[in-house]
Amino acid sequence: MPYNSGTQAFRQGAHNALPLTSGIVPFGLITGVTAIGMGLSPSDAIGMTLLFYSGSAQMVVMQLMQNAALPVTMVVTALVINLRFLMYSASLAPHLGQLPRRQKWPIAYMLSDQSFALCTLKIGAGGLGQHAYPYYAGTAITMFFGWNLSVLAGMYLGAGIPEDWSLGFAIPLSFLALLIPGIRNAATLGAALTGGVLAVLAADLPYNLGLLTGALGGITAGLVIESWKTPQAMPEANSEQEAS
């Protein structure tokens, strides 16, 4: 269903992203609580949150600061965790790459797992057309405010949230809610199973390399299954995509 106007696409993007903030709000709260709890000043915590705009990298760096790790370890670990954005960037580039810099740079800064997942689902279903930018902006701005406000709230709540609420479990649950609807055929199912199992087996690897191992294994599995399923049709399907 194509949108009539950019405003409508922006609103729909924001609307689709809103339920996903329920997955990041608990994570944001915990990040804020942890930052203050480990003795960071409020300005340090806010600066870190705005500079990174990446919860997993921030949590890992705070952990490393507590372990008095070397700064170079922190930089390398955080960037390895964020390497997945390279893949997101490549997959959104055909739809966002032609924009002027004053639009491109802010939206690149706001690229998140959730905006990426929502946009690729929409683009995959053929529903965005020329309105990819406003739709993406709607999702990205919603996630940006959801994240920063929840970190801020966490900083004020301090240690008020009891540990036994297990709010950290909301993060994998929100990723699960994004994952399941994206499994549409044997190849995506194979990619997910391989990626998940490999990441579990490789969980002990340092620098969060288990995540990258799982991701690369899953992608390979998806490609292999795809080539089994449609050995002849593949090149044609590809050239059609290229032409459109």
Interacting positions 176-215 with another protein (CB under 8 A): 176-183, 187-189, 191-200, 203, 210-211, 213-215
Among 85, 127, 153, 207, binds another protein (CB under 8 A): 85
Q: What part of residues 123-142 is at the interface with another protein (CB under 8 A)? A: 124
Determine if 148 is a binding residue for another protein (CB under 8 A).
no
Are 161 and 29 within 8 A, CB to CB? yes
Among 3, 27, 116, 135, binds another protein (CB under 8 A): 116
Question: What's the CA gap between 77 and 146, in Å, rounded?
Answer: 25
Instruction: Tell me the number of residues near another protein by CB under 8 A.
Output: 96
Determine if 42 is a binding residue for another protein (CB under 8 A).
no
Nearest-approach distance from CB 220 to another protein, in angstroms: 8
Determine if 222 is a binding residue for another protein (CB under 8 A).
yes
Among 24, 29, 62, 74, binds another protein (CB under 8 A): 74
Report DSSP letters for 48-106, one per residue.
HHHHH--HHHHHHHHHHHHTT--HHHHHHHHHHHTTHHHHHHHHHHHHHTTS-HHHHHH
Give me 95's structure tokens: 């739809």
Helices 132-157 and 101-109: angle between axes, nearest 10 degrees: 40
Mapped onto helix, strand or coil, the DSSP state of residue 111 is: coil
Among 29, 33, 78, 141, binds another protein (CB under 8 A): 78
Among 3, 10, 13, 23, binds another protein (CB under 8 A): 23
Among 96, 128, 132, 137, binds another protein (CB under 8 A): 96
Question: What's the CA gap between 142 and 88, in Å, rounded?
Answer: 18
Contacts of 135 (CB under 8 A, 6+ apart): 3, 9, 10, 12, 13, 119, 122, 128
Determine if 87 is a binding residue for another protein (CB under 8 A).
yes
Q: What part of residues 150-179 is at the interface with another protein (CB under 8 A)? A: 164, 166, 168-179
